[in-house]
Amino acid sequence: MSLSRLAPYGTWTSRIWAEHVAAQSFAAGIEEVILDYLTSKVYYGQKRPEENGRCAIADAEDRQDLFDESWDARTQVHEYGGGGATVFGGVLYFSHFLDHRVYKTVKNGLPVPITPVDPVRRFADFAVHPKHPDLIVCTVEDHTDPHPARVKTYLGVIDTRNATVSRLVEGADFYACARFNTEGDFIVWQQWWKAKTINLGDSILVAGKTEVVAAQDPNWASENTIVFTSDLSGYQNPWKFVFDPANPAAGKASPIFQQPVNEEFGAPQWFLSRHGSAALSATKVAFVSFRDSRSVLYICDLALGTRLEVPTPYAHIQYLRGDARGKAVMLGQPADSGEVLVELTLDSDDRTCHVTYYAPKNPDYDGGLRDEKPPVVVLIHGGPQYMEYASLNWTKQYFTSRGWAYLDVNYGGSTGFGRAFRESIHGKWGVLDAQDAYESVVRLDALGLVDKERAVVHGGSAGGYTTLQLATAPERTFKAGSPHYGVSDMKTLDEVLHKFEYYLCDRLMGGKWEDCKDVWEARSPIHHADKINMPLLVFQGCKDTVVPAEQMENMVKEINSTPNVKAAELVLFPDEGHGWRQKETVQTVLERELLFFNEVFGFKNAPGR
């Protein structure tokens, strides 16, 4: 045991050395996130300090570079750069830092120049025409006269067929964010000095006013709707511009929210292409704001003028991208670990699930094996209309300190996210909650945060019920489960429910037993013991007056008497009720669960104290 000692401030010996800081500064090095709007594939630009600081473009799925180490996808437009590459239909277009020319290539192909040799022009912030991909609009910076006051910036169009560049719009000091709508009929862009304005094709002013109002970061939500931010209220807030394609000049700009929000939904564009919004459908747009020096992610409804805050562990979110399929991609950085590439998907039914992810963490270990994703314990909270809070919980630390990831799933029906979300589970208990748990693991696996082949699930009460539902699900995502004092038979539960929850089953099943018997039976795991697809370790208190012990006792008997299914073990606590109140019980449950999960995956470490 080490003893702490006193020493004057400023003189302490530290374990954090400059070389450690330098190494961590480039640990991920992602400086560009690219979403192919045609294929929905994700790519990223990565700073390579060991390769003279060049920027490589890699496929996010297999992490393979798209070109060899002789190429550098960077630009010096505005000197700070950004927006050095884009991908459309699997074709990469990028500015090569060494000669400022623009090239195109496919994965593992040889880049071919699509602009002429010209050492005085720089190119960035590319957008490919959706119907004529041989045409690319971009920001062009002309240094024919290198004096800062005489450097010219304009919007240009690259014709890849003959490697020519034509001027599209000029006259302003700076240009950015030129984007086509999905049909390619209109183009929107941002231009500025002092005031930032949003303009539509044929130079229709959408928003912004010289030296008074700044509008920025335009994006298309639909063929005739542009979203952007404006600081008319004193803060950069989300706005929209809706127009008739037959008469775009008559379009109208208006704030998305009914009342201004004292948060900044955007930042000065020191770097190109660091967008803070992403359209996910014609009516849903993701925005990032800043509150108390932290990024806040919202899903905004353009029609209703509402916003839903999406809890994330990220202190800083940037490079937000989205497409009409409901996919959003961003670079997120927590306050206590390195940056990660994050993918979110808005379901076709516009439904959201809220999860909190806890990474494996132990000061004595730097991580797992090479390319290994961590196993994950998924918690399903009770209620079912309760919620799991992101506060300190030593059960979670018990697992994460042993190399497990831990995932809280606040599934549809959870409290804390509005009435519509809370009531979404009415008539869908046993379906919606199980689906959200399954989808959460699949999607975090795709992000490299968990290993879906090594996922286990546990939960108490309603969470124990969902665990049993997942044990009979055809997806077979989870390899083991531990239900605590859960529900197995809706009909017998309904017969003994206490006054406080007397009508609970009617509401959550979608009707009374007499009216929808088939639903009640379909959602009762005890009738589906033959479908059990994972081993179960079941815990139950004998004095439970909320969910009688017979629920779990009968379920385990049914499973173990059914041939060709995974076995279940029942652990009874004679002096416990609906939840654990005794120290010995908590310790026993934790140690037995860990040992059980370890045995499922063949882990050799002992449970420990």
For residue 212, the model assigns a pLDDT of: 55
What residue ranges of the chain have pLDDT lower than 50? 1
pLDDT confidence of residue 130? 94
CA dihedral 484, 488, 489, 490 (to 10 degrees): 70
Angle at 342 between CA 337 and CA 347, to 5 degrees: 145
Q: Of all helices (H) and strands (E), which one includes residue 284?
A: strand 284-291
| Paired residues of 112 in beta bridges | 104
Q: What is the pLDDT of residue 384?
A: 87
At residue 427, the 3 state secondary structure works out as: coil
Task: Kindly list the domain boundaries of the chain, sorted by start residue.
Answer: 29-128+136-157+167-171, 354-601
In tens, the pLDDT along 47-103 reads 988 888 899 999 988 889 999 999 999 999 999 999 999 999 999 999 999 999 999
DSSP conformation class of 82 = B
The pLDDT of residue 476 is 78
Q: Is 362 left (phi over 0), alpha (psi -120 to 50) or beta?
A: beta
Q: Is 494 helix (H, G, I), strand (E, B) or coil?
A: helix
Tokens of 468: 């049993």
The predicted pLDDT at position 482 comes to 96
Q: What are phi and psi of 484, to 5 degrees?
A: -110, 130
Instruction: Quote the pLDDT of residue 488.
Output: 84
Q: What is the pLDDT of residue 39?
A: 92
Q: Which of 552, 559, 595 is nearest to 573 (CA)?
A: 552
CA dihedral 208, 211, 214, 217 (to 10 degrees): 90
Q: Residue 347: its pLDDT value, please?
A: 59
CATH top-level class for 354-601?
Answer: alpha beta
- Rounded distance between C-alpha atoms, residue 472 and residue 160, angstroms: 55
pLDDT score of 24: 60
Helix axes 432-446, 462-471, angle to 10 degrees: 70
pLDDT of residue 192: 87
Asked if residue 384 has a cis previous peptide bond (ω within 30° of 0), the answer is: yes
d(CA 407, CA 441): 8
Contact assessment for residue 205 and residue 145, using Cβ atoms and an 8 Å cutoff: no
Give 392's contacts (C-beta < 8 A, 6+ positions apart): none
